[in-house]
Structures are given as structure tokens and as C-alpha cells.
């Protein structure tokens, strides 16, 4: 495998750097949010963001080229320029709609989601249906021109801020477990939807329970065919795994860990000078590099039009495992500060040791989100190694 990007991509890197030098950062007095939006618009027009999304839906419609995507991410990160928006809408629903949605759904929902004008949450998990997702019981019944939905969802990230939910509901109660599910879009701002926050151990309130009591959605707000929602949900889950186990996020965290080791003191000198800290950093770096090369492999397979599905599963599992190693060493380095309650709210006020407390606690959560690590291991064992199937059917990681 040739790991050099080559002169074509180095020239592209110069081009991106020149664009950034001209447009980022904005003038100091500008409103930060407006400046980020204006910058994103320019970057889309230039072909640097939302590259796989057609222009008609707000993307920049570039030829597939994961290496260019990588160069763009690296250059944007180098100067702290805003990249593509994150969240379930952009990273999970948009690719699902592009693959499985009706034209009118793409026209109506994709561009405003990319611009951050509408916010989505993911309504999959229920009490009793997490790893065994296909056991979900929330019902959807067609009454005239509307689906009427009743049941409960749980662990719904950002439901309290969301305008819409993409939701799995059981529409064919008599069909086999996987065949009775439909994938619907639902307006969250209606009387039949009640959102109750769940307080996390970080002190934050990003999760929710969502109670659905006769919530309504139009008949054609269904993605894919009636009763075939399980197949649609697999597309979403693939993108969820890629987001959670993303390699640039892991590398970014590792870079911060090295900085922490330089700043933290041990016996009157930087912790980085200590042999055991260096040893552990080297061990983690080996994982980080292995993850990088695994991501290159995934890219090469994508370029060759091959299905890299299982490599994505491996990357999710390894990415979250590395995050856990990083959190453990950070916990050791910040010492007693690890006992602090993390600061509330997202981004903004996190400083110094405190921000690591969020990372330490959060690293446990990402190993569960998008399919728990044990489930990913089951997938690798069954599909990759050909071991006998696990008893539980319809696991979230498998999409089986």
C-alpha cells in the first residue's frame, strides 16, 4: 500500500491552504455563527464541503475522492476552520435519504439540514430494544392519510432541540420481526410528542426519553417501502458507525493527550519526561497509526467500489477502544482533577483539566452508541471469522 499522497494531492493541499488563507479566520468583530455559515457557503461553492451531495440538494457534487476529502479535513483542522456540520441529521439521515429517500424528501429536507436550519434526532432505541433493535415495539398505524404513532423511545440524543425525528416503528405487527418495521420522518413539534431529559453522569442533559402518544405524520413521510424499514436503517447505522469511530477525531484526541503530557507535572518535571508515560503514549500511538492505515484501507476499497462494511465495524470498535485508552492515561495525568464535576454545556467553557473529565466519562458512552462494542465483536466473529451465530437476532451492530 502506497501511503504517500503524491504530487497531485500535494498541489491540491496548496490550493486548499490558499483558499483558507484568503477566507479564514474572519474579521474579529464578525458574529461567529454568521461567519461560520458564510465560510461554509464559500467552501461548498469551492467544492470542499458536502462533496458527495448533489448541488441540487445543497452539496458541492464532486467526483468521489476520499484522499481529497482527507486533505481538506486536515487543512481545515490545521487552521481551525469550520467543516461540515455534525449531528444525526447531517451524518446519518442525509446519506440515508440520498440512498433510499423519495425525490421530494431529498428536495425538502437535505439542503436545510446541511445548513443547520433544521435539526434531527434518531428514534431507534427503546426500553427493551437497544442491541436487539429489531424487537422495537413502538407502533405506527395508517389512519387515512396519516401514520399514527404510539410508544416510547429512549437515549434520544438532542431530541429536546430537534425539529424532526427519523424513527423506526412497527407497522406490520403480524409480520416477522425484521419485516414489520417502517422508517418514518416525524415532526417533533406536535402535541403527541413529549420529550423528557435524562441527566448523564457528566451532568449534561443531551439524552432524552421520547413518549409518543398518537403522534401523527403524513402517509408519504416514509423512507423506503412500508415494512422494509430495517433495510433502510442499515444505511443509517453504517454512517453512524463511521461517525462514532472516525479516525480524524481519534487523531485529534491523541494530539491533545500529547500536549497534556507536556503540560502536566510529575515530580517537578513534565509528565512527558517520565518513562512510563512515554511508554503508554507510544503504545496508544501504535493503535492510532494502525487505525489510520485501516482508514486508508477503507478508502482504497471505497475507491475500488468494494464493500468495506466489516472494516467500518472494526474501525468503530477500535476507534472507541483507543478513545478509552486515551481517557485512561489522561485520567492518570490530571490526577485529583479527575474527581471534578465536568463543566456543563457543550464546547465553550471547557478549559484545562476539566475538559478531560468529559472525555473520560464520554469515552464509555461512545463505545455503546451506534451499537455496543460486544455487538461489533459479534459481527466481526460471525461475518469476518465465520464463527457460529449469536443467539440474539437483529442486533443493532449487525443490521442483520
Ligand X SMILES: Cc1cc2nc3c(=O)[nH]c(=O)nc-3n(C[C@H](O)[C@H](O)[C@H](O)COP(=O)(O)OP(=O)(O)OC[C@H]3O[C@@H](n4cnc5c(N)ncnc54)[C@H](O)[C@@H]3O)c2cc1C
Stretch that binds ligand X, among 124-132, 135-143, 252-260, 345-353 (CB under 6 A): 124-132
Give the footprint of ligand X on residues 350-369 (CB under 6 A): 365-366, 368-369
131: contact with ligand X by CB under 6 A = yes
Q: Which residues are catalytic?
A: 240
Residue 279's CB is within 10 A of a number of other CB atoms, namely 10
Q: What are phi and psi of 155, to 5 degrees?
A: 60, 30
157 touches ligand X (CB under 6 A)? yes
**Complex with ligand X: residue 187 or 382, whichever CB lies closer:** 382
Q: Would you say 35 and 43 are in contact if contact means Cβ atoms under 8 Å apart?
A: no
Give whichever of 127 and 214 is closer to ligand X, judged by the CB atom.
127
Please, are residues 236 and 166 in contact by the beta-carbon 8 Å criterion? yes
Closest CB 168 distance from ligand X, rounded Å: 8
Residue 244 or residue 277: which is nearer to ligand X going by CB?
244
Q: Specify the residue, 130 or 319, whose C-beta has the smaller distance to ligand X.
A: 130
- Binding window for ligand X (CB under 6 A); candidates: 71-79, 90-98, 211-219, 390-398: 390-398
Mapping DSSP to helix (H, G, I), strand (E, B) and coil, where does residue 183 land? strand
Provide CB contacts within 8 A for 117, sequence distance 6+.
Answer: none
Cα–Cα distance for residue pair 102/97, rounded to 1 Å: 7
| Helix%, strand%, coil% for the chain, nearest 5 | 50, 15, 35
Tell the smallest beta-carbon distance from residue 291 to ligand X (Å). 20
Distance in angstroms (rounded) separating the CA atoms of residues 235 and 183: 11
CB of 89 to ligand X, least distance (A): 11
Q: Does 390 bind ligand X (CB under 6 A)?
A: yes
Nearer to ligand X by C-beta: 68 or 170?
170
Helices (H), the chain: 7-23, 32-45, 66-79, 88, 94-100, 103-114, 229-244, 247-263, 275-303, 309-334, 352-366, 373-379
96 interacts with ligand X by CB under 6 A? no
Q: Does 372 bind ligand X (CB under 6 A)?
A: yes
- Smallest distance, Å, CB 390 to ligand X? 5
| Residue 302 is a binding residue for ligand X (CB under 6 A) | no
User: What is the signed CA dihedral for 166, 172, 174, 176, rounded to 10 degrees?
Assistant: -60
Q: Which is nearer to ligand X, 12 or 207 (CB)?
A: 207
Interaction of residue 396 with ligand X, rule CB under 6 A:
yes
Instruction: Report the candidate in 206, 127, 203, 118 with the shortest Cα–Cα distance to residue 160.
Output: 206
Nearest to 203 by CA among 95, 336, 354: 354
Does 164 contact ligand X by CB under 6 A? no
Which residues of this protein are in contact with ligand X, per CB under 6 A? 121-125, 130-131, 155-157, 365-366, 368-369, 371-372, 374-375, 378, 390, 392, 395-396
Amino acid at each position: 500500500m502506497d501511503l504517500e499522497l503524491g504530487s497531485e494531492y500535494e498541489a491540491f493541499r496548496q490550493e486548499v491552504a490558499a483558499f483558507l488563507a484568503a477566507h479564514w479566520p474572519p474579521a474579529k468583530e464578525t458574529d461567529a455563527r454568521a461567519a461560520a455559515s458564510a465560510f461554509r457557503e464559500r467552501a461548498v461553492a469551492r467544492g470542499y464541503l458536502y462533496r458527495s451531495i448533489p448541488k441540487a440538494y445543497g452539496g458541492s457534487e464532486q467526483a468521489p475522492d476520499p484522499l481529497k476529502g482527507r486533505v481538506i479535513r486536515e487543512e481545515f483542522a490545521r487552521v481551525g476552520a469550520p467543516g461540515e456540520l455534525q449531528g444525526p441529521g447531517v451524518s446519518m439521515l442525509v446519506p440515508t435519504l440520498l440512498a433510499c429517500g423519495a425525490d421530494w424528501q431529498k428536495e425538502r429536507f437535505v439542503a436545510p439540514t446541511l445548513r443547520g436550519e433544521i435539526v434531527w434526532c434518531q428514534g431507534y432505541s427503546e426500553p427493551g430494544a437497544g442491541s436487539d433493535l429489531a424487537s422495537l415495539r413502538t407502533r405506527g398505524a395508517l389512519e387515512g392519510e396519516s401514520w399514527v404513532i404510539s410508544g416510547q423511545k429512549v437515549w434520544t440524543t438532542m431530541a429536546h432541540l430537534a425539529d424532526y425525528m427519523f424513527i423506526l416503528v412497527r407497522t406490520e405487527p403480524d409480520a416477522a420481526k425484521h419485516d414489520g418495521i417502517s422508517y418514518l420522518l416525524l415532526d417533533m413539534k406536535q402535541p403527541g410528542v413529549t420529550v423528557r431529559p435524562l441527566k448523564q453522569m457528566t451532568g449534561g442533559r443531551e439524552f432524552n426519553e421520547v413518549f409518543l402518544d398518537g403522534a401523527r405524520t403524513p402517509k408519504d413521510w416514509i423512507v423506503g417501502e412500508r415494512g422494509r424499514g430495517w433495510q433502510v436503517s442499515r444505511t443509517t447505522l453504517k454512517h453512524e458507525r463511521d461517525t462514532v469511530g472516525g479516525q480524524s477525531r481519534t487523531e485529534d484526541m491523541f494530539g491533545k493527550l500529547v500536549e497534556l503530557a507536556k503540560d502536566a507535572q510529575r515530580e517537578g518535571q513534565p509528565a512527558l519526561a517520565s518513562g512510563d508515560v512515554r511508554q503508554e503514549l507510544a503504545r496508544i500511538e501504535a493503535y492510532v497509526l494502525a487505525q489510520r492505515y485501516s482508514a486508508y484501507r477503507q478508502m482504497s476499497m471505497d475507491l475500488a467500489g468494494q464493500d468495506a462494511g466489516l472494516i467500518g465495524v472494526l474501525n468503530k470498535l477500535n476507534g472507541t477502544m483507543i478513545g478509552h485508552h486515551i481517557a485512561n492515561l489522561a485520567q492518570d495525568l490530571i490526577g485529583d482533577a479527575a474527581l471534578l464535576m465536568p463543566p456543563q454545556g457543550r464546547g465553550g467553557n471547557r478549559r484545562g483539566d476539566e475538559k478531560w473529565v468529559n472525555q473520560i466519562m464520554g469515552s464509555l458512552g461512545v463505545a455503546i452508541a451506534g451499537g455496543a462494542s460486544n455487538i461489533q465483536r459479534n459481527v466481526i466473529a460471525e461475518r469476518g471469522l465465520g464463527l457460529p451465530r449469536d443467539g440474539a437476532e437483529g442486533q443493532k451492530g449487525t443490521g442483520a
